[in-house]
Amino acid sequence: MRTSERGRRTSSAVSLYVIILVAFQVFLLTVAVEAFQTDHESLAWSSAAVSVVLAGAAAAFLRYLRP
Amino acid sequence: MSEIDTPAGDQPIWERDFPYEAVAEEEVTRREFTRYLVLGAGTMAAANVGLAVWTQLRSINTGEPRAIVALADVAVGDSYLFRYPAERDPAVLLRLDEREVVAFSQKCTHLGCVVYYQAEEERWHCPCHEGNFNTRTGAVLSGPPTRPLGRIDVEIRDDGQIWAVGRRQ
């Protein structure tokens, strides 16, 4: 496989991975809303912590994306 | 160089003379698209943290102390509906005997349905998914809930009123 082809595939994989992370963020937001409605503080904080980590991971992956 | 050949700003002369735009110029690059996604992820993370803070701040047992109802107006074994700590928070108290009352948030800890007192079974019951809670402690007896009902600390004062004291759990 040529280098440019491998680079393009890597970039596509990074984009796809970020899409999956964002989809997971949507799920976590629904969990947080449910925790809010049932006054479940520990669940709300857990959801927020995972969400922040995922957002950080998505930002980190952006660095590896080719222009 | 003649006046005709002078470029206008950064625009090349050929582009001024032949203003052709390819379809691809309007497209968002992969990197831009992913940058939008990351921005969206950051926004959702911020919303998540905001919800967690809000959940923490609106704890059920932290309102201002206030009188709920006169003890004489609630018979032994009867329940009384009120709202605490805010008007949007349904709560219920139960008079257990002459000098003992307990109060809880009326929201089931499973999915937020309203619980009520079943005198014949001596338990708090959630009709949505058949969750049951202990009368005195609010602990889970059966059903899908995993956490006890939110307790509201109450006391009977000398004026004969039942007060919610707004203590932290």
Query: What pLDDT digit, counting tens, does each position of B91-109 carry?
Result: 999 999 888 999 999 999 8
For B8-17, write each residue's pLDDT tens digit. Answer: 567 777 777 8
DSSP B122-136: TEEEETTTTEEEETT
Q: Which residues of B12-43 are buried (b: 16+ CB within 10 A; e: fewer)?
A: eeeeeeeeeeeeeeeeeebeeebbebbebbbe
Rounded to an integer, the average pLDDT of A18-34 is 91
Rounded to an integer, the average pLDDT of A16-45 is 89
Q: Is residue B154 domain-shared with residue B81, that is, in the same domain?
A: yes
Q: What is the pLDDT of residue B9?
A: 64
Rounded to an integer, the average pLDDT of A10-19 is 78
pLDDT of B6 above 60? no
For B114-149, write each residue's pLDDT tens digit. Answer: 999 999 989 999 999 999 999 999 999 999 998 899
CB contact under 8 A, A22 and B37: yes
Please, which pLDDT band fits residue A33 given cuts at 50, 70 and 90?
very high
Q: Are B129 and B111 in contact (CB under 8 A)?
A: yes
Q: Is residue B8 part of a domain?
A: no
Q: Which residue in B has a C-alpha nearest to residue A43's C-alpha? A: B52
Q: What is the pLDDT of residue B85?
A: 86
Alpha helix stretches (DSSP H) within chain B: 13-17, 30-57
pLDDT of B25 above 80? no
Q: What is the pTM of this model?
A: 0.64
Cis check for the bond before B85: say yes or no (omega within 30 of 0): yes
Q: Is residue B83 domain-shared with residue B146, that is, in the same domain?
A: yes
End-of-domain residue from the set B40, B57, B74: B57
Q: Is residue B24 domain-shared with residue B95, that is, in the same domain?
A: no
Distances from the Cα of A12 to the Cα of A2, B36, B130, angstroms: 16, 15, 48
Q: What is the pLDDT of residue A4?
A: 65
Q: Is residue B2 part of a domain?
A: no
Q: Is residue B109 domain-shared with residue B75, that is, in the same domain?
A: yes
Domain count across chain B:
2
Rounded to an integer, what distance in angstroms lies between the CA atom of residue A32 and that of residue A10?
33
Q: Does B7 touch chain A (CB under 8 A)?
A: no
Please, which pLDDT band fits residue A63 given cuts at 50, 70 and 90?
confident
pLDDT of B59 above 60? yes
Rounded to an integer, what distance in angstroms lies between the CA atom of residue B47 and that of residue B13?
49
Q: Which domain holds residue B149?
A: 66-164
Q: Is residue B85 part of a domain?
A: yes
Q: Is residue B6 part of a domain?
A: no
Q: Are A40 and B147 in contact (CB under 8 A)?
A: yes
Positive/negative CA dihedral, B110, B112, B116, B117: positive
Residues of A in contact with B32 (CB under 8 A): none
Q: Is residue B101 domain-shared with residue B78, that is, in the same domain?
A: yes
Residues of A in contact with B29 (CB under 8 A): 67
CATH number of B137's domain: 2.102.10.10
Q: Is residue B116 domain-shared with residue B42, that is, in the same domain?
A: no
Q: Are A51 and A29 in contact (CB under 8 A)?
A: yes
Q: Does B56 touch chain A (CB under 8 A)?
A: yes
Residues of B in contact with A42 (CB under 8 A): none
Q: Are B61 and B151 in contact (CB under 8 A)?
A: yes
Q: Is residue B149 domain-shared with residue B89, that is, in the same domain?
A: yes
pLDDT of B1 above 50? no
Q: Which residues on neighbouring strands pair with residue B94, listed in sequence order? A: B79, B102
Q: Is residue B105 domain-shared with residue B32, that is, in the same domain?
A: no
Q: Is residue B93 domain-shared with residue B155, that is, in the same domain?
A: yes
